[in-house]
Structure 1
């Protein structure tokens, strides 16, 4: 019997996606659990596995096709219980008419369920994890020349990184890269009428979503910005003492861990800022869930520390380390990045003194953290040198009045400058 393979809903909010890459071709026999396609959502690229057994007779949607609605038939499988299996057509209409798109870096794929391992190659098809493919694409490495050490010979991240080191070493000692080891440039487009050498990079769904949401935020949300200077000396001293006691447990607190806790407590103490604007209504949250901005190769994602006000610093530190690692490897589950009542974005580690972050709707505020630096500062009515950072809160003025935003910034400053409240 013929089985219709439909575009799956890979997250609760997914309505459409991009069929990024076929991992099978017409005529291939697949079994339950075999990987058959990579599908790009607005957050990541996920591997899609077969449920039924049979032969792929038609690929109805060409790889690289955007906006494929959930439920759309994308391929036909001829079940093996049908006796004779019909031979596949010479070429699928969609695949024959659509040119194969240039492969570009895609968001890494979160692991939503255990998948069956597949062999390293089948015919001309190279089998590798999405993360390995992305690293190879960015580094100009041909996966066909790499031996996989993963299950059944599958190429994994470590294999590509090892190949990258070998390539760099060869170039240092005089070997020349091959002609196709770097992205090609084109001259088919012009900028203001000037033909500048360039390459065309297709936007991932994540980058498209970031662009759309931030544009909507700046167009629709009236931002108000409030900045305070915060002295860090007491917090840094407490952090050192806590880390000394936590070292046997393998936990090392970061300044950001402590600032997350401070923002969570401040939102509970100033509940008028722990809200969302919802048209004719206001959503008032009784729990502070803090979205933490994490940079990933394809953009930005915000894993969430739930109930940050009531978690210990050690628990926050452990969760953040795990969430950040999963985010960078593309393994976050939807519930780990969807939601949040407010956000924090820390660019201090990059030397940024102060910045104003864009609110992530439907949240109504985000805290932007700058670098801690030695500055002249008044301490006990005398001029001294102190470690100070600038923190800027961006507030949705439809939901939060300036006075309430100022109160939140005041409480946040007090919690950081008198940090014993973070461990009480």
Structure 2
């Protein structure tokens, strides 16, 4: 047998609470990462000159914050008498650590530059893996991203982290055959899965939000207009 650690007990309580209280629905789409790969290559070079490594996760955080501007309910919480739409987009990034999972969050992603988001995210990941996260690092999240692509997982359905409205799951980026302009092509594609609290986002709103995320992934230069 394996004794339950305090971390595993908290994870069990949070996931059970989510399943028991949140009527969630999942939405899936495939996104072409061709343009985002080029975008990342350019901004990554700039980041390295400043000592910051920019990854897809960091860019996706900025993309989700931008998409939330169009669908604010994706950044809300359900209460007994009202729905709270949060002013800041505090994005949690799921970090696997020994014995469990931690979800520290970057505060006010919508107000930070990509370099600032990358720098703060890496600080939080380092703190999580060394067991030095503060209570503030863990509290106040309004949206979560979880990425299992590095393990080759094609797609998965994550669990909403209450009291958040949504969680976005990112699968592996892999070369797949697609049709572009009537011709077959091979493109780097990832399956995105959005899980949303149906009390907060109806199907059309959730689908619009996911479509906006896909649009920004496939046209990342639009971030410059935000």
Same fold (TM over 0.5): yes
Match of 2:204 in 1: 403
Q: Which aligned segments of 4 or more residues in structure 1 are displaced greater than 4 angstroms? A: none
For residues 322-333 of structure 1, what are the structure 2 equivalents within 5 Å?
322-333=123-134
Separation in 2, partners of 1:325, 1:386: 33
Of 79, 82, 85, the match for 1:281: 82
Runs of at least 5 residues in structure 2 that lack an aligned partner in the other structure:
none
Q: How many residues are paired up?
A: 225
Of 357, 366, 369, the match for 2:158: 357
Cα offsets for 1:19-72 (capped at 9, x unmatched) = xxxxxxxxxxxxxxxxxxxxxxxxxxxxxxxxxxxxxxxxxxxxxxxxxxxxxx
Runs of at least 5 residues in structure 1 that lack an aligned partner in the other structure:
1-199
Separation in 2, partners of 1:275, 1:350: 31
SS of the aligned residue for 1:360 comes to: coil
Match of 1:201 in 2: 2
Is residue 73–residue 165 contact of structure 2 (8 Å, CA) maintained in 1? no
1:258 aligns with 2:59: yes
1:318 aligns with 2:119: yes
Deviation at 1:381, TM superposition (A): 3.0
1:217 aligns with 2:53: no
Deviation at 1:375, TM superposition (A): 0.5
Deviation at 1:224, TM superposition (A): 0.2
For residues 72-151 of structure 1, what are the structure 2 equivalents within 5 Å?
none
Separation in 1, partners of 2:209, 2:148: 20
Deviation at 1:306, TM superposition (A): 1.2
Structure having the larger proportion of residues in helix: 2
Deviation at 1:298, TM superposition (A): 2.0
SS of the aligned residue for 1:229 comes to: strand
With normalisation by structure 2, the TM-score equals 0.96
Is residue 293–residue 303 contact of structure 1 (8 Å, CA) maintained in 2? yes
Is residue 312–residue 423 contact of structure 1 (8 Å, CA) maintained in 2? no
Deviation at 1:253, TM superposition (A): 0.8
Larger-gyration structure (1/2): 1
Deviation at 1:312, TM superposition (A): 1.3
1:375 aligns with 2:160: no
Is residue 262–residue 309 contact of structure 1 (8 Å, CA) maintained in 2? no
Match of 1:272 in 2: 73
Deviation at 1:246, TM superposition (A): 2.7
Q: What is the aligned-residue RMSD (CA, Å)? A: 1.2
Cα offsets for 1:380-405 (capped at 9, x unmatched) = 23221110100000001111111110
Deviation at 1:260, TM superposition (A): 1.0
1:247 aligns with 2:48: yes
SS of the aligned residue for 2:155 comes to: coil
Separation in 1, partners of 2:47, 2:143: 28
SS of the aligned residue for 1:291 comes to: strand
For residues 284-299 of structure 1, what are the structure 2 equivalents within 5 Å?
284-299=85-100
